[in-house]
Amino acid sequence: MNKLFGSSAPVVREVPPRLEPTPAPSIPNLPRMTRTGGALAPAAPTSQEETGLDAWVLSDLVMRLAATVPHLTTDWATRELCLPQALLERVFWQLKEDQFIEILGQVDELNYRYASTARGREYAKRLLEISGYVGPAPVSLEAYTAMLDWQTQERGASHFDDVRRTIAENLVLPDETSEVAALAASSGRSLFVFGPPGNGKTSLGRAIASTIQGEIWIPYCIDVDGSVIRIFDRHVHQVVDPDEQSSSNGNPAASAFAQSSQIDRRWVRVRAPFVIAGGEMTMAELDLAYSPGHRLYEAPPHLKANGGTFMIDDFGRQRIEPGELLNRWIIPLESRVDYLTLRTGQKIQIPFRLMLVVATNLRVSEVSDPAFLRRMGYRLHVDKPTPASYADIFRRYAKSAGVTVPEPLLSNILQRYAAEGRELRASEPRDLIERVRDLCRARHQPFVLNEASLATAWRAYFGLSE
């Protein structure tokens, strides 16, 4: 049964006992850290000052949230905004003092029900015309930068031998090619990959990205003078729960780790991201994307890739002049920062802490220039496979597909390539085997590689007649 109130303030919930924050390097704007669940995490803020946000940012966020429902409780607002209840209750009380919200009653001892007043609804309407963001409270750009810097320093570089081993397990490449790729990955420097199509440049980028060890904390979003930029993307970021108690639907807010009262739930722990942009990329996509409907900004792909790998695939085939795209990366590669533009025209500086991989199957002279290549850490030519390498790739993929490839059949395949004057490509063993699988499935036959099934797959893949 609800208990109605007059002007008396609600009881502020006591802050639960928290673990002693773990000392971290003296980096300006770095959040306090605490150890919970066996991992370091940003500690939950105990005051508005510790959030790194101005008081009006928090109160405006609460007012926008209140405008979305007839009434709300402290517990519900805590879950929606990912802020400690004790901190939120202070915000609610100040908004009540300002006559923007009113108390409707008490749900339980430390949980209250609120609703916007007429004045509050009018105020929220004006706020929503400026920003439509409602969700986990943002962190400051300064805190995001400091956290990213500290985490990448703490994580360190991948070991050269580990990287080389991972590449060898995933790809069949000459030793000297694997060595350069491993050097680039272990150093964290950028890599320019070129060579004929279909020979593993994209797969190499994925293999390099998989060698980045450890996880990082990223915010749901960041605040820049009241403008919200969304960072976390479920399609890009793979959420990690150190206690392995995350929910089956992949919702980070539902995991036991995320629900801990010890940590700042505005941050999400994810695996090092891998973001790939192909020929469909435009110059506009490399800046902030403003949504008029939601009145917030979506981070560009390279900002979402911070702490991981960003790959520009099929370079030179974008709807942008290669020179224009090259110039876009000169400052980030040189200074490790990038500049994005708000719709007001204001420029903001964001960190560029990632490994950039650029891959092209065009001639290097057609898509690059010496100024850009000087800024790339490494350059690597991935050529077509030799007959021996092609055979090895064919055997590997056949084994992974659960089918045996007779050696005489493999010899016949290589002879047919030579007879037709066709260049070997590292991607074609997979393509041919998968078309044999399609054929066997369509005929309701066992999956078997033989002369007849491969001949049909060859015709279907290369578009040839007998």
Please tell me the distance from the alpha carbon of residue 229 to that of residue 220, in angstroms, as a whole number: 9
Q: Which residues contact 403 (CB under 8 A, 6 or more apart)?
A: 433, 436, 437, 447, 448, 449
**Token pair recorded at residue 425:** 């490509």
pLDDT for 26 equals 67
Q: Find, among 347, 345, 294, the residue nearest to 131 by Cα.
A: 294
For residue range 208-221, list pLDDT tens digits in order. 998 887 899 999 99
Task: Give this prediction's pTM.
Answer: 0.84
* Range with the poorest average pLDDT among 104-113, 238-247, 266-275, 352-361: 238-247
DSSP state of 258: H
Q: How far is CA 300 from the centre of its chain?
A: 10
pLDDT for 25 equals 54
Note whether 40 and 22 are within 8 A (CB).
yes
For residue range 125-144, list pLDDT tens digits in order. 999 999 999 999 999 999 99
Local confidence band at 22 (pLDDT 50, 70, 90 cut-offs): very low
